[in-house]
Chain A
Amino acid sequence: MVFFLQNLFNGIMLGGLYALIAIGYTMVYGILRLINFAHGDVMMMGVYFAFYAATLLSLSPLLSAVVAILGAALLGFLIDRVAYKPLRNAPRISALITAIGVSFFLESLAVVIFGAIPKSFLNVFKDRTILNKVLIVAGARIPLLTFLVIFITAVILVVLFFIVYRTKIGMAMRAISMDIPTTSLMGVNVDAVIGFTFALGSALAAASGIMWAMRFPNVHPYMGFMPGLKAFIAAVFGGIGSIPGAVLGGVLLGLIEIFLAAYFPSVMGYRDAFAFIILIIILLVKPSGLLGKKIVEKV
């Protein structure tokens, strides 16, 4: 029971982080039908922003997080303007290849600017007591950090749902995902809304990345690759295009991964392979995902 509880919390935490990244994928895919390959790398850049804001500018951890989130949002907006906007009317495959190029570019940019050698994110915190605190819940020893991450993720999700479902720009986003030409006829500035979507998704990725780096403090230019891919799988799992689906998919993926690794320790090394096998199974059994709508292809 204690073991179960411990893994349950770990799974929810990991799942929450996946969910935050997956939302960025799902929003962009819902609107542009584009897999934004660079999303995981935007997360990586966010982590570096936070790292340098705290170590070079010696800002407090909280303030560095704010700087990183704003920086990532700006980066996401710029990527859309520079790389994806010129290709709005091009075949979808061109946009996908460009996205791969952007991902590649960000990784090598990070190598050039920040160096290829991994850095420890713990240097961000002068006072590390909060990281080492452990709470005991029904006998299970659970780091305070886990609760903190789950709490912050929940708060961010509430804010996000408010933006998407209760504000004017959220309504515009949902309208664009239905039909771009009609929405633009209604007087909505489509490009501005798409830019905002990229910024919002990137901000979420950066927030997730910072919490990721608190949990796994090894910061390097390729750190965004795996979480990015898995978050995409989470988005497909939940039904791509659907924000509640991304959250559900993320949390389920995190739980499955942690529990498989916990109860079958011999396959620990293959942990990263689970997600892909899950992806193949989902795509074969229910291609539209858990909460997605079925799309029929026509000639």
Chain B
Amino acid sequence: MEKKLSARTNFILTVIFVLFMVFLLYLASKYMDSYKLRVVRLIAIYGIMAVSLNLINGITGIFSLGHAGFILIGAYTASLLTLSPEQKAMSFIIEPIVPWLANVHTDFLTATLAGGALAAVFAFLIGWPVLRLSGDYLAIASLGFAEVIRIVALNAISITNGPLGLKGIPEYSNIWWCYGWLFVTVLFTASLVNSSYGRALKAVREDRIAAEAMGINVFKHQLLSFVIGAFFAGVSGSLYAHWLTTIDPRITTLGPMLTFYVLIMIVLGGLGSISGSLIGAALFAILFEWLRDLEEPFTFFGIHVPGIKGMRILVISAIFILVMIFWQRGIMGREELTWNNLYRWLFARRKGGEKK
């Protein structure tokens, strides 16, 4: 019988860990320069995106490529709600904004919740047709739906300002909002995964036909996971928009490219592991910023290398392919970084030796 930590120890350790993180974040917000702080905030935003996509892809096994669509909905909804009426009147140049949106103005929390809620509603509507498909078809259909959302954002000029996008979004996403939402996302997702719903979701991932035969309503569970994932994607979209301060519906900003980025994070971290997603998101954000140096001119052992644009995406995609070929499990596989597992990894080997 394997020794486990009691629920109480577990809880206390978690509280201590959270308090410690809060302290670290406080130190960071006090002593880090604004550029580093930007990356730190981005890690949390990427973390929410990765955990929400991981709930859909890794835990439920719905291979959805439509995440950017939900992020876009959240970003636009929240930005339209936090922009002041004057700013909206100023930036809508091609066509004036629709009257019912012109004068709405709310605080950041309401806007973020609205962004998440609208993304969830869309996920519900899209889920009805898309989740009847499976495997590759589902991947393409969800990618298609995300593209449809993007194309609508590009053409519904009186609502979204079309290709010009929205500018001057207030930079509300400070470190506490980002990490607060990350905490809520992780807590909610982890409790969901550990509930009976979570076990059903995993059963659907392993074999949907067998799960169906066991009496699990596959469609209902998939839809649930899809909608919850989309809600947090919408939330992350709101945070992302208030981090970027400028959004537009190009392929490279809120289009399929973003979905691929999030996919890289969760594959790198391990499909099906929440803590893996967080590690993947952090690694991706740091790597992506660090590789920025590659695009600057630099001198390597006396050889002058001119800066090449696009180099960092090339390096990232090469790493991605290599991970898929040689190390498909990613960093965490399907394991979670829990106190119990930490305890086991740290002390199990010694225990095993004693038994002999």
Contact = CB atoms under 8 A, between A and B. Distances in A.
Interface of A: 33, 35, 83, 86-87, 90, 92-94, 96-98, 100-102, 104-105, 107-109, 111-112, 115-116, 222, 225, 229, 232-233, 236, 269-270, 272-273, 275-277, 279-280, 283-284, 287, 297-299
Contacts of B256: 225
- Majority SS of interface residues in chain B? helix
Contacts of B155: 269-270
Given A35-B140, A225-B251, A236-B137, A280 B324 contact: no
Contacts of B132: 283-284
B147 A93 contact: no
B148 A276 contact: yes
B340 to A, nearest CB: 28
The 6 closest A-B pairs by CB, nearest first: A276-B144, A111-B310, A269-B155, A108-B313, A105-B317, A108-B314
B207 A299 contact: yes
Nearest to A83: B321
A299 B309 contact: no
Contact of A104 (B141, B260, B325): B260
Given A98-B325, A108-B314, A287-B137, A116 B207 contact: no
B147 A276 contact: yes
Interface residues of B, number: 47
Contacts, number: 117
Contact of B148 (A93, A273, A287): A273
A280 B147 contact: no
Given A112-B309, A225-B251, A272-B151, A236 B321 contact: no
Contact of A279 (B135, B141, B264, B317): B141
A35 B144 CA distance: 14
Given A93-B63, A96-B139, A284-B132, 20 more contacts: A35-B136, A35-B139, A83-B325, A86-B326, A96-B63, A104-B313, A105-B318, A108-B317, A111-B310, A222-B252, A233-B140, A236-B137, A270-B151, A270-B152, A276-B141, A277-B148, A279-B141, A280-B130, A284-B129, A299-B209
A103 to B, nearest CB: 8
A257 to B, nearest CB: 13
Contacts of B348: none
B147 A102 contact: no
B40 interface: no
Contacts of B65: 100
Contacts of B145: 276, 280
Contacts of A232: 140
Nearest to B143: A229
B50 to A, nearest CB: 15
Contacts of B184: none
B177 interface: no
A109 B252 CA distance: 15
Contacts of B22: none
Contacts of A287: 133, 137
A153 to B, nearest CB: 24
Contact of B152 (A96, A115, A273, A283): A273
A112 B308 contact: yes
B154 interface: yes
Given A87-B325, A108-B314, A225-B251, A283 B147 contact: no
A233 B133 CA distance: 14
A287 B313 CA distance: 36
B224 interface: no
B260 A100 contact: yes
B248 to A, nearest CB: 15
B314 A109 contact: yes
15 contacts: A35-B140, A90-B328, A101-B320, A104-B260, A112-B309, A269-B154, A276-B145, A277-B148, A279-B140, A283-B141, A284-B129, A287-B133, A297-B209, A299-B209, A299-B210
